[in-house]
């Protein structure tokens, strides 16, 4: 089984925005993320550790301005932490092994798909197209990726 860890070389290669989001718990401006409009089949992995986080088949258009997913592809790779910043109580989500700030999870997702909305910063993710998943070591997740229209 593949081991995922926070890769110092990957951290050093982050853009200033990716660093601010993943390492300093920042948030990208709504509507600006590079993966917001992505509709290709594949998986989204932590930009720092490579751990699989979300599948394209669980992505949906929530209208919030950030990529939204109904559930993690591998729940053990997404840690949920109480966040009391900004005068409210929210649930922050971080990658378990990379310890990257990903975004937040809210209970206002599609009811027929579990009711959760994982609101995730594009800057914390790297997209791996279905055609490249096997070569990049993510072949075990191919059965969880469907064509989406």
Q: Read out DSSP for 72-117?
A: -SSGGGEEEEEE-GGGS-EEEEEETTT--EEEEEES-S-GGGTS-E
**Residue (of 60, 94, 90, 92) closest to 77 by Cα position:** 94
Task: Please confirm, yes or no, whether 64 is among the known catalytic residues.
Answer: no
Q: Would you say 129 and 82 are in contact if contact means Cβ atoms under 8 Å apart? A: no
**Cα-flanking dihedrals φ and ψ of residue 18, to 5°?**
-60, -40
Of the residues 116, 119, 123, 133, only one is catalytic, namely 119
List the catalytic residues.
119
């Amino acid at each position: 089984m593949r081991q995922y860890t926070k890769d110092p070389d990957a951290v050093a290669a982050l853009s200033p925005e990716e660093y601010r989001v993943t390492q300093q718990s920042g948030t990208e401006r709504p509507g600006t993320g590079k993966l917001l409009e992505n509709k290709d089949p594949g998986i989204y992995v932590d930009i720092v550790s490579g751990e699989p986080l979300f599948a394209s088949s669980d992505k949906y258009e929530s209208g919030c301005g950030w990529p939204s997913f109904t559930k993690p592809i591998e729940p053990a790779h997404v840690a949920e932490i109480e966040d009391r910043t900004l005068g409210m109580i929210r649930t922050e989500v971080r990658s378990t092994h990379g310890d990257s700030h990903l975004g937040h999870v809210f209970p206002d997702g599609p009811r027929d798909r579990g009711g959760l909305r994982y609101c995730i910063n594009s800057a914390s993710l790297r997209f791996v197209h279905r055609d490249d998943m096997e070569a990049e070591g993510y072949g075990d997740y191919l059965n969880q990726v469907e064509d989406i229209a």
